[in-house]
Amino acid sequence: MSRTVVHLLRHGEVHNPDGILYGRLPGFWLSEVGIRQAEQVAAHLGDHEVVHVVASPLLRAQQTAVPIALTHGVDLVTDEQLTEAGNVFEGTPVSVADGALRDPRNWLALRNPFRPSWGEPYREIAARMLAAMHGARERAAGHEAVCVSHQLPICALVRHLTGRRLWHDPRRRRCSPASLTSLVFAKGALVDVVYSQPMVTRA
């Protein structure tokens, strides 16, 4: 039976001392912990048949993908469709205590959590992620591919593939930094979704 696996990898921990929503802003790189996480994921996947590695264009995703591509001797491909979700609060702190959500002028952006009104629609995120995933699956047919992306895009794709509603409570997302959500396909059909956290270092 032909089996193809597409690993959706969230980038590692980011250096963000000011605690802002960095979104698609340039210049946000992996922290020291994030660099170790990327190396650990690459080691974890070392004996897998990875033949295709593709990443979001954002620096943190590219940095996470490089050790995997080097381990398997493949070129790192960039796909804009894997990028972070757009968000109107990008570049601001968003905690309730001292962030943008404390300002009543910003509350209008929260009027519709089902779309959501504060950023890129869930349906559009899922659609572009689905296209990126199918492209990676075709490139890695019979083997394995790694797609390095971001928390919300990965969650939106998985929710779409598993038939769940796209709007959700962000606090319930299962997509930690440097985690893998592995989509297993047999004869072109999705047969399993496996979540794992291969990294062990936190400090």
Question: Is 150:11 a contact under the CB 8 Å cutoff?
Answer: yes
Residue 104 confidence class, pLDDT cut points 50, 70, 90: low
Cβ atoms of 150 and 84 closer than 8 Å: yes
- Is residue 175 predicted with pLDDT exceeding 80? yes
User: In this structure, is residue 201 part of a structural domain?
Assistant: no
**Residue 82 maps to a domain:** yes
Whichever domain contains 12, its CATH number is 3.40.50.1240
> 80: which DSSP letter?
G
Euclidean distance between CA atoms 116 and 113, whole angstroms: 4
| Percent of the chain whose pLDDT exceeds 90 | 71
The whole-angstrom separation of Cα 19 and Cα 16 is 6
Report how far apart, in Å, the C-alpha atoms of 49 and of each of 68, 69, 71, 72, 200 are.
11, 12, 11, 8, 22
Contact 182, 193 (CB under 8 A): yes
Domain assignment present for 202: no
Number of domains in the chain: 1
- Over residues 85-89, the mean pLDDT reads 87
Does residue 142 form part of some domain?
A: yes
Residue 116 zone, left/alpha/beta (φ > 0; ψ -120 to 50; rest): beta
Distance CA 126, CA 77 (A): 20
Q: Is residue 150 part of a domain?
A: yes
78, part of any domain: yes
Range of the domain at 131: 3-196
Residue 24 lies in a domain: yes
pTM of the predicted structure, to 2 decimals: 0.90
Please, which residues bridge with residue 144 across strands? Answer: 5, 50
Q: Is residue 71 part of a domain?
A: yes
Q: Is the pLDDT reported for residue 97 higher than 70?
A: no
110 pLDDT tier (thresholds 50, 70, 90): low
Residue 62 structure tokens: 């590219």
